[in-house]
Amino acid sequence: MDTVLKINGLTKRYGKITALDNLDLEVKRGNVFGILGPNGSGKTTTLGILLEVINQTSGEFEWFGAPSNQNTRKRIGAILEHPIFYPYLTGVQNLRIVCDIKEVPYSRVEECIKQVGLDERKDSKFKTYSLGMKQRLSIASALLCDPEVMILDEPTNGLDPQGIAEIRDLIIEIANSGKTIIIASHLLDEVQKVCTHFCVLQRGKLIHTGLVEDVGKGDMLVEVKADTEDLQTVLEASGMSSNIKRELDKYTMTMVNGYSAAEINKYLFEKGITAKHLVVKTKSLEKQFLEILAEQEGGKS
């Protein structure tokens, strides 16, 4: 797998604020890469530097194995924060300008507008669009050059649940066509639903990178309910868990040493206890995310 993006020690300071602190990152071809972080953690700043609209304080980055210039950006489809277009122009007129900038034929305009399902309103002025339509137009605009890499910054921000679902489906569809996608988001389930890889930023610092599918592999949680007085002690005595948490009559065990629900079941059975509830929980990205944040000093975001 070849490297699409390599970031080396990227730093951005706004006066005393360090928006981005010595970031190193690598994105390979075909990755759907999520940049996760709470608001103000430096996601937009990072993407802005990669797209050369923000000047970095120090550090460098390479697109496709070479230092970037404007022709690099013609191979990338990108949206930063809100959709930006000329409000007094129609969707089609706006996309034609992007075609001229990216040096792709106008024939792409119709194709991309169809792909995002904006056909009916393509000749209305941009300022009359709803937020969902604006978001679609910007995805169409990013698709114009048949990009090798797509960059999306909070693509579902401000949309209603239906709009969110539609945009996510669109992103998954684009991802399935094999494109490399970089998504910045503060929404955990968004990253979990569409990404293959992710990293976590907090106050400009990179605090975690990994595979989305590895999330939850680390610790397994098993919930147990049974009608017995001393369940907590019995479970603790099993030595299969590092931690047991009680909520009403439900006990959640954090399993260790590869023990799983089957061993617990057998163990309880041997003790003459019948479990009436036994459920395996893999950790959601949300839990892991909160844990990662909590591990950092102070953990406040």
| Binding site residues, ligand ADP, CB under 6 A | 14, 17, 19, 37, 39-45
> Considering beta carbons, is residue 40 or 59 the nearer one to ligand ADP?
40
> Considering beta carbons, is residue 99 or 195 the nearer one to another protein?
99
Residue 261 interacting partner from Mg ion, ligand ADP, another protein, none (CB closer than 5 to 8 Å by kind): none
Four-residue CA torsion sign, 74, 75, 80, 85: positive
The answer to whether 105 and 99 are in contact (CB under 8 A) is: yes
Residue 27 CB, shortest distance to ligand ADP, in Å, is 17
Residue 7 CB, shortest distance to another protein, in Å, is 17
Q: How many CB atoms lie within 10 A of CB 111?
A: 12
Using CB atoms, what's the residue nearest to Mg ion? Answer: 44
Nearest to 230 by CA among 199, 271, 187: 271
Residue 91 interacting partner from ligand ADP, Mg ion, another protein, none (CB closer than 5 to 8 Å by kind): none
Structure tokens at 14: 């706004």
> Considering beta carbons, is residue 101 or 256 the nearer one to another protein?
101
d(CA 261, CA 126): 55
Residue 17 CB, shortest distance to ligand ADP, in Å, is 5
d(CA 92, CA 295): 49
Residue 183 CB, shortest distance to ligand ADP, in Å, is 12
d(CA 289, CA 284): 9
> Considering beta carbons, is residue 84 or 211 the nearer one to another protein?
84
Angle (CA) 266 272 278, round 5°: 50
Strand partners, 77: 150
> Considering beta carbons, is residue 93 or 196 the nearer one to another protein?
93
**What Cα–Cα distance (Å) separates residue 125 from each residue in 137, 142, 187, 262?**
12, 19, 31, 61
Residue 80 interacting partner from Mg ion, another protein, ligand ADP, none (CB closer than 5 to 8 Å by kind): another protein
Residue 296 CB, shortest distance to ligand ADP, in Å, is 15
**What Cα–Cα distance (Å) separates residue 75 from each residue in 149, 229, 266?**
7, 65, 57
> Considering beta carbons, is residue 7 or 47 the nearer one to another protein?
47
> Considering beta carbons, is residue 73 or 136 the nearer one to another protein?
73
Burial class (CB in 10 A: 0-12, 13-18, 19+), 67: exposed
Residue 298 CB, shortest distance to another protein, in Å, is 29
> Considering beta carbons, is residue 29 or 205 the nearer one to ligand ADP?
205
d(CA 77, CA 150): 5
Four-residue CA torsion sign, 158, 161, 167, 168: positive
Site for another protein, rule CB under 8 A: 48, 51-55, 69-71, 73-74, 78-80, 84-89, 93, 96-98, 100-103, 141, 145
Residue 239 CB, shortest distance to another protein, in Å, is 56
Question: Binding of Mg ion at residue 45 (CB under 5 A)?
Answer: no
Angle (CA) 67 69 73, round 5°: 110
Question: Binding of Mg ion at residue 44 (CB under 5 A)?
Answer: yes
Residue 179 interacting partner from Mg ion, another protein, ligand ADP, none (CB closer than 5 to 8 Å by kind): none
Contact positions vs Mg ion (CB under 5 A): 44
